[in-house]
Structure 1
Amino acid sequence: MATFFLERTVPLPREEAWRRITDWPRHGDAVPLTRIIVSTPQPTHQGTVVVARSGVGPLTFDDPMEVTLWRPPTQDLPGLCRLDKRGRLVTGWAELEVHPGPGGRTRVLWREELRVRLLPRLFDPLLAASARYVFGRAVNALLRRP
């Protein structure tokens, strides 16, 4: 499995950073060639299913994910969301967190473990580096725009 970690410190309240990184349809705006479909009723909760459909034309695949942990930030606790990937091609998990940061800022953490079933483990370092780049840009975009 390819594992990667991202950390950003932003001048946003924790609740706003949380809202931005868990606004699933906006992830599709930030990840190239990807559209996000939320197939369960809003608001997000444990059990919410999010599907990332990536590709072009007939070369598309679905990356279904289920929210298995949903804890929005409170005054006493950081926010934590865990998504378990349930696809035939892509498996693994992602954890998104928001914590108080220095000077009233917010720390956003993104940890992810990916496995692409048809890709030999030899390519895990390349997959991790590519995912870190793509998701790093996505996190930057999500946190930059309201």
Structure 2
Amino acid sequence: MAIFQITRDTPLPAAEAWRRLTAWERHGDVVPLTRITVGTPPPTHVGTVFVARSALGPVGFDDVMEVVEWCPPDGASPGRCRLEKRGSFVTGWAEIEVYPATSGPGSTVVWREDLRVRGLPSLCDGVLSSVARRMFGRAADRLLAGGPV
């Protein structure tokens, strides 16, 4: 199991950081070779299911995720979303938390993930964690920036 954490401070208010990070379709714009399909009607809620399809030509896999906890930030209270990965190839979980700044504008994002790839030996966990931390850190930066990819 490859567990990693990304922490980002942003000048965005917590509600806006949350909105940008949980715009699931937008993740396909910032993760290479990936597109997102949301299979449940909006807005996002517990039970929302979406699929990240990563592929290079005909070779690829689906990362099926379900929202199992959904609590957007509210005033001084942080937001928390937990996703369970339900795919046949990628499993684990992801948590996104957004904390309003304690003083002044802005917020802090904490993204934790337990990424498991079926068939990949645990010997590879360190490398997988390192690569995933960089890739998802870059994705978080781009989602928070909100500009063109």
Shorter-chain TM range is: over 0.9
Deviation string, structure 1 residues 70-105 (Cα, Å, up to 9, x no partner): 001111420000000001010000000100125321
Stretches of structure 1 lacking an aligned partner (at least 5 in a row): none
Corresponding residue for 2:83?
83
What is the CA–CA distance in structure 1 between the aligned matches of 2:76 and 2:46, rounded to whole Å? Answer: 20
The question of 1:119 aligning with 2:135 is answered no
Q: Tell me the secondary structure at the aligned position of residue 64 of structure 2.
A: strand
Q: CA RMSD in A?
A: 0.9
The residue correspondences of 1:127-142 to structure 2 (distance < 5 A) are 127-142=128-143
Letter in 2 for 1:125: G
What is the CA–CA distance in structure 2 between the aligned matches of 1:76 and 1:109, rounded to whole Å? Answer: 16
Count of matched residue positions in the alignment of Structure 1 and Structure 2: 146
Letter in 1 for 2:132: A
Letter in 2 for 1:144: A
* Runs of 4+ deviating beyond 2 Å: none
Superposed displacement of residue 4, structure 1: 0.3
Q: Normalising by the residue count of structure 2, what TM-score does the alignment of the two structures yield? A: 0.95
Q: Normalising by the residue count of structure 1, what TM-score does the alignment of the two structures yield? A: 0.97
Corresponding residue for 2:15?
15
Corresponding residue for 2:144?
143
Superposed displacement of residue 125, structure 1: 0.2
Deviation string, structure 1 residues 96-120 (Cα, Å, up to 9, x no partner): 0100125321001100001101100
Letter in 1 for 2:126: P
What is the CA–CA distance in structure 2 between the aligned matches of 1:50 and 1:36, rounded to whole Å? Answer: 7
What is the CA–CA distance in structure 2 between the aligned matches of 1:133 and 1:10, rounded to whole Å? Answer: 18
Equivalent pairs: percent with the same residue?
60
Deviation string, structure 1 residues 25-66 (Cα, Å, up to 9, x no partner): 100000000000000101000000010000112111100000
What is the CA–CA distance in structure 2 between the aligned matches of 1:103 and 1:12, rounded to whole Å? Answer: 11
Stretches of structure 2 lacking an aligned partner (at least 5 in a row): none
